């Protein structure tokens, strides 16, 4: 039995359900424990009553210590703070043999068991960012990414989780560009026994590294070089109010858009239909703002408009203007 968990609120619920549905690739039985950061997401999931899912409301894990950290962090930072907490909670409350933390904006393309087999003699797993040289941000974001972190229910993993928690508690809204909970992963291998850095390049394929691979498909399987993609991390993905899809501020090949993003959007659309069977009015999403209208603007508004258009022009010139209507993915 595997125990998976993610963290999301109502704006990421569609994405959280999409990664959950993609766990159907697993060859081993599992339970998915989403940590719901608001009542709307929790109440909807309770109503949906999905098999293999056990929603947890953030209030269930709240302590005085955690509450004090919540007061000094942004909404996003507090989600990061909760990453080790929810893993500890699942190990303690459900006596899980192993818990695997997933980022909600991911999708499994194949069986995750191939990654867990790599850590058969280990207690903890890490997945490298594996940056493409032109996007190497390891000095700020660290060598490893919080996206598939497995912890066995043993002393070695508990030690790593406590270290991770202590570093996550250093987040503060006074230092928005500092990521202690992320960068501390770089030290796990050196400080603790039983930590495995996953070697399979099909793990953690993401906007910052996909350009270093040849992306192809054969018999319905999507490959990076000669390896099937295990999971892709859809960093920056969102929608606009007109329904357009934002794929993020990275250049993508035609193959990446057609083989990876088209699949993700199709799976998201299936999840939307599933949610609407329970609540047809639920339409929260991660939304990006559209361009500011040019009528009736002040000098200050003009500066914002100019900046917005200049950013878009730069993205077009650099091949990073990845905003597409629905019809693009219906081809």
Closest CA to 283 of 241, 228, 327: 241
The sign one gets for the Cα dihedral 17, 21, 26, 27 is positive
d(CA 61, CA 254) in angstroms, rounded, equals: 43
pLDDT value of residue 313: 67
Calpha distance 169→305 (Å, rounded): 38
Cβ atoms within 10 Å of 137's Cβ, excluding its own: 10
- Please give the pLDDT value at position 278: 98
Residue showing tokens 């508004």: 301
The pLDDT value recorded for residue 298 is 47
Interatomic CA distance for residues 105 and 247, integer angstroms: 12
Q: What is the pTM of this model?
A: 0.93
So what's the pLDDT on residue 330?
Answer: 77
Low-confidence ranges of the chain (pLDDT < 70): 290-319, 331
DSSP state string for 181-206 = HHHGGGGHHHHSSSEEE---TTTTB-
Give the separation between CA 268 and CA 260, rounded to whole angstroms.
12
- Distance separating alpha carbons of residues 285 and 269, to the nearest angstrom: 12
Helix then strand then coil, % of the chain, to nearest 5: 45, 20, 35
pLDDT in tens, 192-231: 999 999 999 999 999 999 999 999 999 999 999 999 999 9
In angstroms, how far is CA 92 from the centroid of its own chain? 24
pLDDT reported for residue 320:
74
- Environment class of residue 28 by beta-carbon count within 10 Å: exposed (0-12), middle (13-18) or buried (19+)? exposed
Spatial CA neighbour of 199 closest among 230, 222, 220, 223: 230
Contact of 89 with 153, CB cutoff 8 Å: no
pLDDT of 321: 80
Domain extent listing, the chain: 2-200
Q: Per CATH, which fold does 2-200 belong to?
A: Spore Coat Polysaccharide Biosynthesis Protein SpsA; Chain A (3.90.550)
């Amino acid at each position: 039995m595997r125990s998976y968990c993610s963290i999301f609120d109502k704006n990421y619920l569609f994405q959280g359900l999409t990664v959950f549905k993609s766990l159907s690739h697993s060859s081993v039985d599992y339970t998915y424990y989403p940590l719901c950061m608001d009542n709307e997401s929790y109440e909807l999931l309770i109503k949906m009553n999905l098999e293999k899912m056990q929603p947890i409301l953030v209030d269930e894990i709240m302590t005085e210590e955690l509450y004090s950290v919540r007061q000094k962090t942004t909404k996003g930072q507090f989600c990061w703070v909760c990453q080790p907490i929810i893993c500890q909670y699942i190990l303690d409350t459900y006596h899980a043999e192993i818990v695997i933390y997933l980022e909600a904006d991911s999708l499994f393309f194949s069986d995750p068991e191939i990654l867990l087999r790599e850590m058969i003699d280990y207690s903890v797993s890490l997945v490298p960012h594996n940056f493409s040289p032109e996007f190497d941000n390891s000095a700020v974001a660290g060598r490893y990414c919080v996206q598939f972190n497995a912890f066995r229910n043993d002393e070695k993993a508990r030690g790593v989780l406590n270290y991770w928690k202590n570093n996550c508690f250093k987040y503060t809204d006074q230092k928005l560009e500092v990521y202690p909970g992320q960068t501390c992963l770089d030290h796990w291998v050196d400080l603790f026994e039983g930590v495995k850095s996953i070697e399979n390049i099909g793990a953690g394929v993401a906007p910052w590294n996909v350009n270093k691979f040849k992306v192809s498909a054969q018999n319905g399987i999507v490959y990076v070089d000669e390896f099937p993609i295990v999971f892709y991390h859809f960093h920056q993905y969102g929608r606009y109010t007109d329904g357009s899809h934002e794929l993020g501020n990275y250049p993508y090949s035609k193959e990446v858009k057609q083989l990876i993003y088209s699949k993700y959007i199709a799976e998201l659309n299936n999840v939307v239909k599933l949610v609407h069977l329970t609540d047809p009015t639920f339409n929260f999403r991660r939304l990006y703002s559209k361009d500011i209208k040019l009528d009736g603007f002040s000098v200050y508004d003009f500066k914002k408009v100019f900046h917005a258009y200049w950013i878009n022009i730069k993205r077009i010139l650099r091949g990073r203007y990845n905003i597409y209507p629905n019809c693009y993915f219906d081809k």
